[in-house]
Amino acid sequence: MTNSKTTTTLDSLPNYNSSQVFDSSSYMNFTECLQGSNLVNNSLATAFDLSPSLSEVFSSVEGSHQSRSSADQVGDSGGGRGRETLVSTQNSSEAAWAEEYSGKSIKTSLLQAEDGGESSKKVNNKGKKKGEKKDLKVPRFSFITKSEVDHLEDGYRWRKYGQKAVNNSPYPRSYYRCTTQKCTVKKRVERSFQDPSIVITTYEGQHTHPVPTSLRGNLAPARLFTPSVLTTNSIPLAAGSSFSYDSLFMSHMNSKSGAASINSQNIISNTFHQQQYQLPDNGILQDIVPSMFLN
């Protein structure tokens, strides 16, 4: 675990039609999403920068509604517009995307699945607390990583609470929970059986606390997506400008829900606060933005 550089390409939702993929109400704003997914508060930065073996990342966002049937969400997806098709439901996705990506360079895409169906169905109705079901939308954010290590360092502390064998795969799926009290974020990690170098990480929920300072010193937000991490060709934003992921996210949501497609102007001007991140001067990050949300 020491080689590779991380190259990430954010594309867009592989499998869905932009016009129907989202139900904005079901998604949290991007920052939340990222935060919940450890992507913002330095987590991914950690992963990208500090995880030696990480070489490529593929990401996706899922807003989950538990109510949807998997057939619903996955079903029609039929390869959204010429992009890589990536079935978001993880159970069946394995083969699907392994197939898709094996042999090709993996591109990072912001995949939004309305819940990825996969686990949403059962979610948590453990016999114990049946009174309270956490049915509501559990925001999910998943990404594919080409890494030799399964559990990427993301700044948060996790406790493994389970492991299951995955169908048709020699690699097990591990379940982690954030160790911070009252934080219900979960993370699921599994490796592609077709391409063992690929790891699928899915975050569920959002952290209710800041990243536990510590682990790796301080990681500046700007380093979140480092130049080496991102490569993509898409609509550029003004380099050096700061933006809010939330804005982007919301814009995306809007565009998804029927509104006109977003434009960088929108993205930058909208403010949904929370954290704002500085775009690196080299403009790399700017590339990622539009591509993440335009679709």
Partner DNA sequence: CGGGTTTGACCCGCGC
Partner DNA sequence: GCGCGGGTCAAACCCG
Cα separation, 177 vs 156, in Å, equals: 10
Burial of 167 (0-12, 13-18, 19+ CB in 10 A): exposed
Minimum CB–partner distance for residue 153 and DNA (Å): 11
Neighbouring CB atoms inside 10 A of 23's CB total: 16
Looking at residue 158, its amino acid is: W
Neighbouring CB atoms inside 10 A of 180's CB total: 18
Contact 272, 31 (CB under 8 A): yes
Minimum CB–partner distance for residue 66 and DNA (Å): 8
Minimum CB–partner distance for residue 179 and DNA (Å): 4
Of 202, 198, 152, nearest to 175 by C-alpha is: 202
Nearer to DNA, 205 or 290 (CB): 205
Which residue shows structure tokens 């993370």? 187
Nearer to DNA, 199 or 292 (CB): 199
Minimum CB–partner distance for residue 132 and DNA (Å): 11
- The Cα angle at residue 245 between residues 281 and 292, in degrees rounded to 5: 85
Nearer to DNA, 150 or 231 (CB): 150
Nearer to DNA, 157 or 209 (CB): 157
Query: How would you classify the pairing of strands 56-64 and 7-8?
Result: parallel
Q: How many CA atoms lie less than 13 Å away from 248 in the CB half-sphere?
A: 26
Nearer to DNA, 71 or 136 (CB): 71
Neighbouring CB atoms inside 10 A of 241's CB total: 14
Of 48, 30, 13, nearest to 284 by C-alpha is: 48
Minimum CB–partner distance for residue 141 and DNA (Å): 14
Minimum CB–partner distance for residue 182 and DNA (Å): 14
Looking at residue 190, its amino acid is: E
Minimum CB–partner distance for residue 253 and DNA (Å): 24
Nearer to DNA, 200 or 229 (CB): 200
Helix (H, G, I), strand (E, B) or coil at 252: helix
Structure token pair of residue 198: 């690929």
Query: How would you classify the pairing of strands 198-204 and 242-244?
Result: unpaired
Contact residues toward DNA (CB under 7 A) are 69-71, 90-91, 118-119, 121-128, 130, 157-167, 173-176, 179, 186, 188
Nearer to DNA, 193 or 272 (CB): 193
Nearer to DNA, 134 or 273 (CB): 134
Minimum CB–partner distance for residue 136 and DNA (Å): 14
